[in-house]
Chain A
Amino acid sequence: MSVPTEHLVILAGILFSIGVAGFCLRRNLIVMLMSVELMLNAANLTFLAGSRAHSAGGEPMLEGAVFAIFVIVVAAVEASVGLALVIALYRRQQTVSVDSLNQLGDA
């Protein structure tokens, strides 16, 4: 007995919402980065669910699986650049809070 696709999509939807909520509500840049990762992983889960749902003759459809692999790679790239930016901020401000980003804006 396998898990129905709807359940997987609903689970992914919940994960995605947690990610969005975390991104919008938390002030710590590292936690915000983790929330983005959660959003990307929700997308991955959905891609894999779709890949299984659209299987032909017992073979899962490759598009979804390949897309998920690309997303994993890109997520790693984004995280590395993001963390580098956070370090650049920490060197200047000794904080990783998003509230310290207050130099720019309409005075």
Chain B
Amino acid sequence: MMALLNNSAMEFQALTSADWNGGAPMLCVTAGIILALLAEVLPGFKPARHVAFLASLCAAVLFEMRILGAPQGTIFQGTFSADRASALWGILFCFSGLLAWLYSRRYYKEEKPFLAEHDILMLCSVLGMMLMAGAEDLLTFFVGLELLSVPLYSLACFRRVRMESVEAGLRYFLLGAFAAGLFLFGTALMYVATGTISLAGLRETGLDSSLSLLGVALMASALFFKVSVFPFQFWVPDVYQGSPTPVTVFMATGTKAAAFAFLMKVVFLLPASAAGILSIMAIATMAIGNLGALIQEDLKRMLGYSSVAHAGTLLLVVTSSLIGDPQAGAPLQAALYYMAAYVFTAAGAFGMIAMLEGSGEHFTKLESLRGLGTRRPLLAGALSIFMLSLGGFPATGGFFGKYFVFTSTLRADMTVVSVLGVLLSVVALGYYLRVIMTMWMRPPVEGQAAPSAYRPAANFATGLCVFFVLALGFAPGWFLERFF
């Protein structure tokens, strides 16, 4: 877009076939948004909305698979990269949207008339994520970031009859808007100092003036807000707890993945001396997340803290990529594998809470899970698998995610940090195992009915998550060879 405007003749440059191939997934999602909107306003087409939603996400995944097979390089005049990494991120975003959608069926009650808005806003967010993960200049990234955030503000507030939901939406909005301000001012300072906003241009000119370093610092803090890294993590448990649970599924998986995708891309902007601060931040994030989760009685809040801890682990990979892993592609691969495992695990865990909540609001409390193992063994089994994967237990996807992260940090000579990170992961097992113990070893609460297990969409989503968590845990080689 920029290159197009910079031509002195300002002539329009036709799209090349690479542009079409690389942009196809985003076009599919855009088409889905338009069709879903049309289906809602045209009389007699209401059910077509679901078809539009599912078809656009499936088509987007297929086109991303095609990019995986034949990467298109940098497209749209150097503003977007359709390479293997962005295609893989894109697939993860589509799955995150799909799982959140499946878990949102039958979840809402008073809000039923507005479900069309819910679905359309979710698709907009997926589109924003794709734009973020592939952005090659800061303007494209900014548009993607806002396309992701603005729909999520409204989604967090979707159950507006409940004060908790309104509060979650407002908190998320205030911090998101503040972070956007930080990001923009940082970008503007870099632009004044260097005269470019494209990542390729910034890599060429380098950022050595104090003005541009201040800009990078502001931009990095905005990104840290989004990925919820210490000291910008305080909003996460509140927002995750207050938002409708299907929206939390989406926020915890997709948003986090999108912000980390871009963070991995712009980490070269940070000066090498920032590595020390980054590793301290990573360890502090893991400590706060894991210790905070230990004392929670509310499952959504506990998983919110656990998601903070996982962000800390991922920040370790960012650090190892900044220091320089001798195996050049390994940090990105580790981040992708970790995030892939996390998307399916966290979506499954939060999603099962959403499903249980359908049988009563009290099912967000840990206490309410007592005796689930004897009453609903399949549900309890699936939730146990997710908890084990979150804790990084062998034979689950979470284990290999952690394994790749810590081998990468060890190769980058971050021995002390790696040891601390592994120790903190062991602390985390404390609260994950507590959930499993509550389900299997304690008798049910007197007079509390067992939750209903019949919810086709949610059951299907849970099955999908279990399958991928176990597949990523049993056959990492197969996935690495074909996808990463």
Contacts and interface: CB of A to CB of B under 8 A. Distances in A.
Interface stretch (B173-181, B265-273, B437-445): B173-181
Contacts of B139: 63, 66-67, 70
B167 interface: yes
Contacts, number: 136
A92 B166 contact: yes
Interface stretch (B92-100, B153-161, B458-466): B153-161
A70 B6 CA distance: 16
A88 to B, nearest CB: 5
Interface string B195-209: 111000000000000
Contacts of A59: 8
Nearest to B239: A104
Interface centre among B5, B167, B178, B238 (most CB of A within 10 A): B167
A4 interface: no
5 contacts: A43-B184, A46-B185, A62-B6, A81-B173, A104-B238
Interface residues on A, range: 35 or more
Interface in B128-186: 139, 142-143, 146, 150, 153-154, 157, 160, 163-164, 166-171, 173-174, 177-178, 180-182, 184-185
Q: Which 3 A-B pairs have the closest CB atoms?
A: A39-B181, A46-B188, A43-B184
Q: Which of A42, A53, A63, A93 has the most CB of B within 10 A?
A: A63
Nearest to A55: B195
Contacts of B104: none
A67 B191 contact: yes
Interface residues of B, number: 46
Contacts of A43: 181, 184-185, 187-188
B150 A104 contact: no
A63 B143 contact: no
Contacts of B160: 88
Contacts of A92: 163, 166
B192 interface: yes
A74 B169 contact: no
A40 B163 contact: no
Nearest to B138: A67
A104 B168 contact: yes
Contacts of B181: 16, 19-20, 36, 39-40, 43
B163 A63 contact: no
B242 interface: yes
Chain B CB within 10 A, most for which of A20, A40, A64, A74: A74
Contacts of B146: 74, 77-78
A63 B196 contact: yes
A40 to B, nearest CB: 6
A103 interface: yes
